[in-house]
């Protein structure tokens, strides 16, 4: 299976799987046997651990060994630019706060973009033993089984997910949206890993998801997986904030309308 640039996406996915398993094994070992070293970044609740950094190092080394000319964008190290059409987008731990607390809801997220289009992605939870992956045009899978989004078209009976990134800001824009939406749906969950939230929409556990101000590395792989599972992804701007919405096609318009009503409250 070759994409327009002649790369075999089956081979790419086999490589990704090896790299991610290696990283997951390291994370399991580290959480069991190691004293975590936690540092803060932009503010006092924006955390990074030595395990984030080492996981990133493992993934970068694997990519450089296999595809030395490719560029890499990572959460902790930024852009490692090789002036290539190929860009790997990596979040070594999506859900770092959960990871620090031992709450088993974090993931390794890795995607390959070719000329700006995501061609392959994997989101792997070392704790749930869930491996979500997709290649463009070939569907989405969870541990070898094809997954598809839910068919729920009614918001009233839907289970949604959201998140509150950047909790350093006490007045979070999403609180208004959350309180508006909570009475309109069956329930709203907040896992703390945007990558897993998108995959949970892909697997139809959630009917829809929204979140503000996410970064490329949070959503690159999960967005492909959700879209390949039949989901729709919308990214829009609300004032200074970017809003990501993901759900099945039947619900997109209703969910978007309902979310945007929140601004009028």
- Among 56, 211, 213, 218, which one carries the catalytic annotation? 218
- Among 49, 74, 96, 244, which one carries the catalytic annotation? 96
75 is in an annotated binding site: yes
55: nearest Cα among 77, 84, 87 = 77
| Least distance CB 216 / ligand 2AM (angstroms) | 11
Out of 15, 17, 21, 46, point to the residue binding ligand 2AM (CB under 6 A): 46
5 is in an annotated binding site: no
Active site residue 197: no
| C-alpha torsion sign, points 180, 185, 186, 190 | negative
Active site residue 162: no
Q: Which of ligand 2AM, Ca ion, none interacts with 218 (beta carbon under 5 to 8 A by kind)?
A: ligand 2AM
Is residue 191 within 8 Å of 95, Cβ to Cβ? Answer: yes
Active site residue 218: yes
* CB closer to ligand 2AM out of 184 and 190: 190
Give the full edge-to-edge strand order of the sheet including 130-135: 78-80, 71-74, 86-94, 107-114, 117-125, 130-135, 140-142, 145-147
Applying CB under 5 A, the site for Ca ion has a residue count of 3
Q: Give the number of residues written for the chain.
A: 265
> b/e string for 29-52 if b means 16 or more Cβ within 10 A?
ebbeeeeeeeeeeeeeeebbbebb
d(CA 110, CA 93): 10
Is residue 10 within 8 Å of 1, Cβ to Cβ? Answer: yes
Active site residue 52: no
222: nearest Cα among 59, 52, 49, 95 = 95
Q: Which of ligand 2AM, Ca ion, none interacts with 126 (beta carbon under 5 to 8 A by kind)?
A: none
| Least distance CB 73 / ligand 2AM (angstroms) | 13
d(CA 121, CA 111): 4
- Among 90, 93, 173, 225, which one carries the catalytic annotation? 93
91 is in an annotated binding site: yes
218 is in an annotated binding site: yes
- Over the window 72 to 101, marking each residue x when it contacts Ca ion by CB under 5 A and - when it does not, the resulting string is ---x---------------x-x--------
d(CA 219, CA 144): 21
Residue numbers belonging to the annotated binding site for Mg(2+): 75, 91, 93-94, 218
Residues at the contact surface with Ca ion, assessed by CB under 5 A: 75, 91, 93
Could you give the residue numbers annotated as active site? Answer: 75, 91, 93-94, 96, 218
Residues at the contact surface with ligand 2AM, assessed by CB under 6 A: 46, 75, 91, 94-96, 163-166, 192-194, 211, 213-215, 218
């Amino acid at each position: 299976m070759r994409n327009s640039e002649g790369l075999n996406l089956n081979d790419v996915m086999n490589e990704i799987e090896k790299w991610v398993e290696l990283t997951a094994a390291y994370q399991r070992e580290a959480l069991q046997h190691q004293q975590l070293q936690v540092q803060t970044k932009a503010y006092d609740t924006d955390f990074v651990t030595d395990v984030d950094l080492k996981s990133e190092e493992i993934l970068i080394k694997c990519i450089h060994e296999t595809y030395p000319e490719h560029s890499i964008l990572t959460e902790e190290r930024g852009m490692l630019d090789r002036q290539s059409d190929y860009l790997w987008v990596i979040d070594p731990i999506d859900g770092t706060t959960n990871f620090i607390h031992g709450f088993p809801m974090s993931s390794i997220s890795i995607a390959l973009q070719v000329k700006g289009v995501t061609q392959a992605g994997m989101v792997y939870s070392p704790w749930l033993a869930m491996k979500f992956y997709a290649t463009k045009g070939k569907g989405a899978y969870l541990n070898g089984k094809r997954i598809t989004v839910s068919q729920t078209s009614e918001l009233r009976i839907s289970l949604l997910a959201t998140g509150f990134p950047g909790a350093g800001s006490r007045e979070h824009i999403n609180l208004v949206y959350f309180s508006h939406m909570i009475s309109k749906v069956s329930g709203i969950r907040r896992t703390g890993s945007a990558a897993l939230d998108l995959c949970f929409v892909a697997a139809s556990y959630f009917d829809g998801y929204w979140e503000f101000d996410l970064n490329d590395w949070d959503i690159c792989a999960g967005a492909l997986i959700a879209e390949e599972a039949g989901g729709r992804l919308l990214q829009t701007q609300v004032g200074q904030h970017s809003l990501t919405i993901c759900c099945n096609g039947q619900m997109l318009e209703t969910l978007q309308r309902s979310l945007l009503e929140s601004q009028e409250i």
